[in-house]
Structure 1
Amino acid sequence: MAARRSNSHASGSSSSNRRAVNAQVRCNCGIEALIKTVRKGPNFGMKFYGCPMWPDTQCDFFKWVNQHSDVEVYQFKLLEKDTIICELELEQSFRDEKIKKLSLKKANLEEELTELKNKVIELRIGRQNISRTGNSLYLALLISWMFFVVVFFLN
């Protein structure tokens, strides 16, 4: 376990103790861990939790201050999943709104199409009536000419 300690701080590094105690973090001895700061080496300035009795005890507790616990990792993952779900629900809401608008537009277009079909039917009926009227007028003109010819020759 001593190798772990030397890997965490470069060999020849030292640390300073601060009396800032985090009640949630306890070392392997069960004592509240102290927040210490690396004073030498590649991790200079980084903060870590360490046993307040070290080096007088064999406790090799070490944890970076910014290292997250499993609970925090899972809470963060849960937050990420909740965020994704909210984004998907928002996207679905936008899609639903778009579908609703398109449905209204479709209904309006179907109504306009029905009106246009009715107008076409009216125009066809009108054209048929005009055609019948034209045929009647042609027949009336023909009969009147025949009557005129008959009256002209009989006189």
Structure 2
Amino acid sequence: MNSSEDMEYSNVSKSEESELMCSCGLPAKLRTSKTSRNPYRLFYNCLKSPDKQCGFFQWCDEPLKTGDKHVDELNLIRSECIRLQERIDDIQQERDSERTDWNRERTELTSELSTVKAELDKIKLVNESDLLPPLDNISKQDEVGDALVVQTL
């Protein structure tokens, strides 16, 4: 493991053992990473408690070491390329989803804007129409009790 963060893990199953052996000669234990860098990624390490482990570590999704330095390095590069491509695919899918959400929101806002513009046009039309006479053409003619009689010219 590369950092103390990588030491955060949980056992996948109490009875789960592998044919893979750690440096102690014991069957390696399958565990799940709980780190932010590798969340829920499966790996093998020493069966012993963290303070007594031999340091053996192997990701489950990476090929086992062959002992040939060049083959092992190529396998590691290949695994990293696969992982990076998966990350690119995830980011692309997230981007497409966000784009869909943005387009839906833009459509909704455009529709609301059109509605508001239509309402404003109606208000403008009513204010400019001949339906309401200008205020200077209104005069008081008579006041009878509580009623006000208004005559327009």
Normalized against structure 1, the TM-score is what? Answer: 0.43
Greater Cα radius of gyration, structure 1 or 2: 1
Normalized against structure 2, the TM-score is what? Answer: 0.44
Hey, which of these two has a bigger chunk of strand by percent?
2
Hey, which of these two has a bigger chunk of helix by percent?
1
